[in-house]
Structure 1
């Protein structure tokens, strides 16, 4: 029996092997592999049978050089590794994008930017011609990934709408309007000291949700009742709620800017002896799996994460096909889902 790495390892079948088995020229085999016309049905059937017999697998890298297309789209997620695993929205965006790309016979390549070193590495990768376009999630204003994509003139679509992307394609939700609506519903429950755990203020979604909260509170808005936290994470929700309780123990309503943040806030409230919703009403944002893990179930905003991913992929595919966009951006509905937490 041969050892791994030994010289008797089975040789990979080539186009020449297929041509010999089918009794045709290598050029005819190449035309079939590249989907080109002017091949008789008889020759095509012989080639397909030969491919199956010799076990030929096309070399996609070599084909990409010839076709100048990798048939791959990158999904760039500019988030820490921990949040990539914790946040169900990212997974739903990924699956929605993958479904649309699979239908178009494109491969999704997932690229995570956790820090400056990752960003530098990804910028080099993007310039290598290994992907045809990109979907960018969680970009901030001034993001070096945004600049790299613009410099390379890659077909791109953003999930979200940072203010510095120019006329680039994007798909988003109305974060400000939805935050205003659910915060207004919280006000209508009779709460008088309403605060917010405001995550991710360095990107458009976080800052827009804070703006919507401010809109809803109007003259009752108190900046002392806003607790900024870095990430849309459970642990940041816990820490933020504890800090807010130290500063404002009489708070009786909380808008948390994501469901994961709300789940952490509810646990911190309950650990402090505060009942939800009797003592403090809590609302979140996303309608993710976190919302139904909460006890009581969380009032929230439904974010159609899978549709965001699918729509972003479709925008990139339209650019690759040379189709004109009807509009630069697409905004999806995000209704309030009211449950027992408030």
Structure 2
């Protein structure tokens, strides 16, 4: 027997009709959820579908409707950070919840290199997804520009720095960073530094701006170190650098909770007590904040809600609606714990 002959034949709508003893038209109306089919006939057809093992031919449906019923989630971060960052996971879950309810499939696309960018751009041009949600768009990012050029329905989590006319959902990073830095200053700290990150995108730039505004004349650029990624390793290395630059440093704003967790490790390594010697605050209120010892003071941002709103924006665009306003900002809050 050949391998082809040994495979199970895919059940068709004709098989369902034969098993149900009904016309193909009646079976089609049941499958498409159309009216004018009795409850009894619907039950017979559904039983026949179950018996013959019929599975809808999605490829044929997509060819007919010119829709893939898939939405891409494009994450412009290395694979390691995709797995490490709880915010990305929360955004993914929020996006998937909305798409699943609308019978759309989420397709995750992680950009880790220039080769990935070229490959994913070609994939998008192939019509395999109907729209995209983009996370961590950077200045000069080729994917965001390709999406804009294609006119693909899209929403950015954050704010695209150099791509006009693209819908987005985010938070006021400047105001949030300013608020938590001011709160740290109120604890009596006088030498406050920052471990900044991702200065090639809006979130990193805005958090640094908020930190600078809060300190005002007390801002010392020598007490700012920056790294490409919101990572634990950036916190460890960054805190060591700050301690070398000024051993008297008594406060630190970390641009993310993961960075703050790394900073706490480096402070323990150096024999510094938190919060007695150095107060530390982070950003996100992710699971990192509750893993820290002491528990981390931080900014809470609604990551899952950001994913949900971005997904709704893309689905709305697919129905022909133009987002108005183009961008939406969700509220943040300060969660004050023992680290400061």
The yes-or-no answer on 1:166 pairing with 2:142 is no
Residue 339 of structure 2 aligns with which residue? 341
Q: CA deviation at 1:9?
A: 2.8
Q: 2:148 aligns with which of 133, 146, 150?
A: 150
Which digits, 9 at most, give the CA deviation of each residue in 1:230-281, with x for residues without a partner? 1101011101111121122211110000000000001001101111111111
Residue 13 of structure 2 aligns with which residue? 15
Q: CA deviation at 1:44?
A: 4.1
The 1-side partners of 2:13 and 2:152 are apart by: 32
CA contact (8 A) 2:160 2:166 kept: no
Residue 112 of structure 1 aligns with which residue? 110
Question: What does 1:42-61 align with in structure 2 at a 5 Å threshold?
Answer: 43-61=41-59
Q: 1:215 aligns with which of 213, 225, 250?
A: 213
The yes-or-no answer on 1:226 pairing with 2:224 is yes
Residue 259 of structure 1 aligns with which residue? 257
Which digits, 9 at most, give the CA deviation of each residue in 1:265-308, with x for residues without a partner? 01001101111111111000000111111111111000110000
Residue 238 of structure 1 aligns with which residue? 236
Structure 1 gap ranges (5+): none
Q: CA deviation at 1:43?
A: 4.9
Q: CA deviation at 1:151?
A: 1.8
Which digits, 9 at most, give the CA deviation of each residue in 1:293-324, with x for residues without a partner? 11111110001100001111111111112234
CA contact (8 A) 2:160 2:168 kept: no
CA contact (8 A) 2:161 2:201 kept: no
The 1-side partners of 2:289 and 2:99 are apart by: 29
- Root mean square deviation of aligned Cα: 1.8
Residue 276 of structure 1 aligns with which residue? 274
The yes-or-no answer on 1:86 pairing with 2:84 is yes
Q: Which deviates the most, 272-281 or 25-34? A: 25-34
Q: CA deviation at 1:167?
A: 2.0
Structure 2 gap ranges (5+): none
The 2-side partners of 1:40 and 1:282 are apart by: 66
The 1-side partners of 2:64 and 2:154 are apart by: 23
The 2-side partners of 1:202 and 1:167 are apart by: 19
SS in 1 for 2:324: coil
SS in 2 for 1:298: coil
The 2-side partners of 1:321 and 1:6 are apart by: 42
Residue 93 of structure 2 aligns with which residue? 95
TM-score (norm 1): 0.95
The 2-side partners of 1:294 and 1:7 are apart by: 59
The 1-side partners of 2:167 and 2:245 are apart by: 42
The 2-side partners of 1:114 and 1:248 are apart by: 35
Residue 206 of structure 1 aligns with which residue? 204
Residue 140 of structure 1 aligns with which residue? 138
